[in-house]
Amino acid sequence: MNTLLSEDQRDALQELMNISMGQAANALARLVGAKVTLSIPRIVSVTPLQFAEMLNDTDVWYTRQSFLGHIRGEVLTVLSKTGCDSIGELMDYEVPLDHDALSELLLELANILAGACLSGFTEQLALNAKLSMPTLFFPENQQTVHVHWASTLMMEVEFKVEASQFDSRVVICLEDIAVDTLLQALNRLLE
Give me the tens of pLDDT residue by residue for the chain, a chain 191 residues long. Answer: 445 688 898 899 889 989 988 888 998 899 888 899 999 888 888 877 787 788 888 899 999 999 999 998 889 999 999 999 999 999 999 999 999 999 999 999 999 999 988 888 899 999 999 999 999 988 877 655 566 655 677 888 899 998 788 899 998 888 878 888 988 999 998 88
What pLDDT, on a 0 to 100 scale, did the predictor assign at position 1?
A: 41
What pLDDT, on a 0 to 100 scale, did the predictor assign at position 185?
A: 92
Q: How far apart are CA 61 and CA 81, in angstroms?
A: 6
What pLDDT, on a 0 to 100 scale, did the predictor assign at position 144?
A: 56
Would you say how long the chain is, in residues?
191
Q: Which residues contact 3 (CB under 8 A, 6 or more apart)?
A: none
Topology annotation, domain 2-190: Chemotaxis protein chec (3.40.1550)
pTM above 0.75, yes or no: yes
Residues 161/150, Cβ–Cβ less than 8 Å: no
**Burial group, residue 161, by CB count within 10 angstroms (0-12, 13-18, 19+):** buried
What is the C-alpha R_g of the chain?
16
The residue ranges of every structural domain in the chain are 2-190
What residue ranges in 2-140 does DSSP mark as E strands?
36-38, 42-46, 60-69, 73-80, 129-131, 135-137
Helix axes 7-32, 99-124, angle to 10 degrees: 140
Q: How far apart are CA 181 and CA 171, in angstroms?
A: 18
What pLDDT, on a 0 to 100 scale, did the predictor assign at position 103?
A: 96
Q: How far apart are CA 64 and CA 147, in angstroms?
A: 11
Residues 147/48, Cβ–Cβ less than 8 Å: yes
